[in-house]
Amino acid sequence: MAKMKAIEAAAKILELEGVTKAFGVPGAAINPFYAALKGLGSISHVLARHVEGASHMAEGYTRANPGNIGVCIGTSGPAGTDMITGLYSASADSIPILCITGQAPRARMHKEDFQAVDIESIAKPVAKWATTVLEPGQVPGVFQQAFHIMRSGRPGPVLIDLPFDVQMAEIEFDPETYQPMTPYKPAATRIQVEKALTMLNSADKPLLVSGGGVINADAAALLTEFAEVLNVPVIPTLMGWGTIPDDHGLMAGMCGLQTSHRYGNANLLASDFVLGVGNRWANRHTGSVEVYTKGRKFVHVDIEPTQIGRVFGPDLGIVSDAKAALELFVEVAKEWKAAGKLKDRSAWVAECQERKRTLQRKTHFDNTPVKPQRVYEEMNKAFGRDTTYVSTIGLSQIAAAQFLHVYKERNWINCGQAGPLGWTIPAALGVCAADPGRNVVALSGDYDFQFMIEELAVGAQFKLPYIHVLVNNSYLGLIRQSQRGFDMDYCVQLSFENINAPELGEYGVDHKAVVEGLGCKAIRVFKPEDIAPAFEEAKKLMAEHSVPVVVEVILERVTNISMGVEIDAVNEFEELAEKGEDAPTAISLLD
């Protein structure tokens, strides 16, 4: 057996588990790990400006491609606490990332040593597993187990905390004998699938609901194939957006209180049966359980047993990895189709398509200041089918889900459940690091953009180019809109007269100056007719300089975006589309 430092074994295991890139910020307590990475030479490193930023970069990296696991590294104390938001975000959306922290030597951990904190206890509620390794000989097993846990069952993040003396200790470790552990993934049985299909086949107006678990399982093609064999419409959740192309005849729209289509809600409400795969019935998708479930039966397929019945009890629950279930669903459905057992769904599909054709929101506004709907219309024109959108939270993200188009899995990368402001920039950089040739377009409101704006310097330093669309209304727009119910507009205005940028009027922060100061390029737009030329210029600047390029669009201060408290009671604050020219980039034109 070969003798080496425990931390060298840890670095080698990362390599053997397929890791090629890491994100982080070095510090004294984790320097042994950085020495091991330097000695190994096979794992490149992106230096973040903030450890929370590194954790979101790791998450964007994981989400970019099947099989990826992003790695975030930091020192002891505040580096670990800075990672907590990233761990929570990843855990909430079932995203595996590996967070590695340094720690004080074991003898000093209980003595209030400098930057010594019980990060294991802090991280446990927001991680799939968190551990402080107290014996050097356990380091290889802990790292092996970390990858096994991240990949098994419902994916999720892990934190490993490494005391300095544990890292430095010599252990026996033979890399030639190391093998990754086979992940555990439950699989549906044939009898379960046949019962589910029997229920679906007996319904008159069935739907499939496709969740983020379909993307995690790399099963989008199977989901689409299953829908096509059955000829049954699909409602993707926000996390499952892209599992069926937006322009597919069976794409029936997204359902929900905010990130939804008018036709998506209408189609769900018209259905009498729903088969959900890899979804968790999130409240912003369902609204109240009473409205969502009334008059329809449900089958729920999910990899995590405790998700079955968590929100409401389905008529049939199946614990299974989405890919394993869909492979069997396709197999049985094809057999039934060949035998002539499947119902003709053409009338139901046509009904859903007619709603998709007619229930559109207006996007073509010529107002100055710009109405946000026009920005998404111009984005649809400017950015192609292969574009990967990255966004986080707020009115900008909600409107994006209502108006943008996604045609492929992993082309909508969104922090769904946690929604931390500031996530967008580092996550977009993580996507670019995972796939340097990818067309990445990020979208932020001004407050999300300001939260972790310093990470743009990472894009400049490491040549991670993408386009960032910044819609600026100088407001906490979503919170302002929600405050309407309290009859107030309080502590949500970001506006002020910037003495250094009088051309901005009351719009406050000079984002263009800040972006350029961080080594990137920026374009500011005030009029709707200037948006398209700005996007074209941004593409040229990105190609020329290989840095992030920000296109800031100055919006009208107050716009209320469609949303409600129930899926049958969404408030439409703006004009609706009555003819094709009202929504020229909608998937289905009205005329």
CATH code of residue 454:
3.40.50.970
Residue 288 corresponds to which tokens in the numbers above? 């109240």
Contacts of 329 (CB under 8 A, 6+ apart): 188, 193, 196, 197, 222, 226
Measuring CA to CA, which residue among 587, 588, 579, 591 is closest to residue 364?
579
Q: Are residues 305 and 339 in the same domain?
A: yes
Q: Could you tell me if residue 464 is inside a domain?
A: yes
Cα(103)–Cα(139) distance, integer angstroms: 14
Residue 45: per-residue pLDDT: 98
Beta strands in 6-90 (DSSP E): 21-24, 44-47, 70-74
Coil/strand/helix, residue 110: coil
Q: Are residues 136 and 76 in the same domain?
A: yes
Residue 555 annotated to the active site: no
DSSP run (H or E) holding 194? helix 190-202
Catalytic residue among 122, 200, 476, 478: 476
Burial class (CB in 10 A: 0-12, 13-18, 19+), 566: middle
CB 12 within 8 A of CB 33: no
Residue 587: per-residue pLDDT: 76
Distance, C-alpha 58 to centroid of its chain: 12
Strands 563-564 and 570-571: antiparallel
Residue 9 corresponds to which tokens in the numbers above? 């074994």
Q: Could you tell me if residue 182 is inside a domain?
A: no
Q: Are residues 200 and 325 in the same domain?
A: yes
Place of tokens 């991670």: 464
Residue 25 annotated to the active site: yes
Q: What is the 3-state secondary structure (H, E, C) of 234-263?
A: EEECCCCCCCCCCCCCCECCCCCCCCCCHH
Among residues 299, 333, 359, which one ends one of the domains?
359
Residue 153 corresponds to which tokens in the numbers above? 């069952």
Backbone angles phi, psi at 490, to 5 degrees: -130, 125
Q: Are residues 545 and 499 in the same domain?
A: yes
Q: Is the dihedral of CA 323, 329, 334, 337 positive or negative?
A: negative
Q: Are residues 16 and 86 in the same domain?
A: yes
Measuring CA to CA, which residue among 383, 388, 534, 550 is closest to residue 457?
550
Measuring CA to CA, which residue among 321, 387, 43 is closest to residue 188?
321
Kindly list the strands in the beta sheet with 297-302, ordered across the sheet, starting from the edge strand earlier in the chain: 234-236, 206-210, 273-277, 297-302, 316-319
Q: How many CA atoms lie within 13 A of 192 on its CB side?
A: 19
Cα(364)–Cα(528) distance, integer angstroms: 10
Q: Are residues 92 and 15 in the same domain?
A: yes
Residue 421 annotated to the active site: yes
**Number of residues written out for the chain:** 591
Residue 191 annotated to the active site: no
Q: What is the pLDDT of residues 308-361, one digit of tens each?
A: 999 999 999 999 999 999 999 999 999 999 999 999 999 999 999 999 999 999
Measuring CA to CA, which residue among 102, 107, 155, 112 is closest to residue 132?
102
Residue 169: per-residue pLDDT: 97
Distance, C-alpha 81 to centroid of its chain: 22
Q: Could you tell me if residue 144 is inside a domain?
A: yes
Would you give per-residue pLDDT tens digits along the chain (591 residues)?
A: 689 999 999 999 999 999 999 999 999 999 999 999 999 999 999 999 999 999 999 999 999 999 999 999 999 999 999 999 999 999 999 999 999 999 999 888 787 787 789 999 999 999 999 999 999 999 999 999 999 999 999 999 999 999 999 999 999 999 999 999 999 999 999 999 999 999 999 999 999 999 999 999 999 999 999 999 999 999 999 999 999 999 999 999 999 999 999 999 999 999 999 999 999 999 999 999 999 999 999 999 999 999 999 999 999 999 999 999 999 999 999 999 999 999 999 999 999 999 999 999 999 999 999 999 999 999 999 999 999 999 999 899 999 999 999 999 999 999 988 889 999 999 999 999 999 999 999 999 999 999 999 999 999 999 999 999 999 999 877 888 888 889 888 888 889 999 999 999 999 999 999 999 999 999 999 999 999 999 999 999 999 999 999 999 999 998 989 999 999 999 999 999 998 899 999 977 655
| Total structural domains within the chain | 3
> Facing residues of 434 across strands?
none
Q: What is the pLDDT of residues 83-140, one digit of tens each?
A: 999 999 999 999 999 999 999 998 887 877 877 899 999 999 999 999 999 999 999 9
Q: Could you tell me if residue 285 is inside a domain?
A: yes
Q: Could you tell me if residue 249 is inside a domain?
A: yes
How far CA 34 is from CA of 24, 114, 331, in Å, comes to: 10, 20, 49
Cα(303)–Cα(306) distance, integer angstroms: 9
Catalytic residue among 25, 328, 342, 547: 25
293: left (phi over 0), alpha (psi -120 to 50) or beta: alpha
Strands 521-525 and 549-554: parallel
Q: How many CA atoms lie within 13 A of 201 on its CB side?
A: 17
Cα(270)–Cα(294) distance, integer angstroms: 11
Residue 476 annotated to the active site: yes
Q: Are residues 241 and 312 in the same domain?
A: yes
Q: Are residues 508 and 442 in the same domain?
A: yes
Residue 485: per-residue pLDDT: 87
Measuring CA to CA, which residue among 574, 570, 582 is closest to residue 260?
570
Q: Could you tell me if residue 569 is inside a domain?
A: no
9: left (phi over 0), alpha (psi -120 to 50) or beta: alpha
Backbone angles phi, psi at 228, to 5 degrees: -70, -40
Domain that holds residue 142: 3-177
Catalytic residue among 13, 19, 46, 51: 51
Q: Are residues 338 and 207 in the same domain?
A: yes
Query: ω before 186 within 30° of 0 (cis)?
Result: no
Catalytic residue among 37, 87, 421, 431: 421
Cα(531)–Cα(524) distance, integer angstroms: 9
| 51-64 vs 84-92: helix crossing angle, rounded to 10 | 20
**pTM score:** 0.96
Other beta carbons within 10 angstroms of residue 581's beta carbon come to 12
Q: Are residues 395 and 304 in the same domain?
A: no
Q: Are residues 459 and 487 in the same domain?
A: yes
| 51-64 vs 424-434: helix crossing angle, rounded to 10 | 50
Q: Could you tell me if residue 586 is inside a domain?
A: no
CATH number of the domain to which 334 belongs = 3.40.50.1220
Residue at 501: amino acid letter: A
> Facing residues of 103 across strands?
163
Q: Are residues 16 and 157 in the same domain?
A: yes
Q: Could you tell me if residue 248 is inside a domain?
A: yes
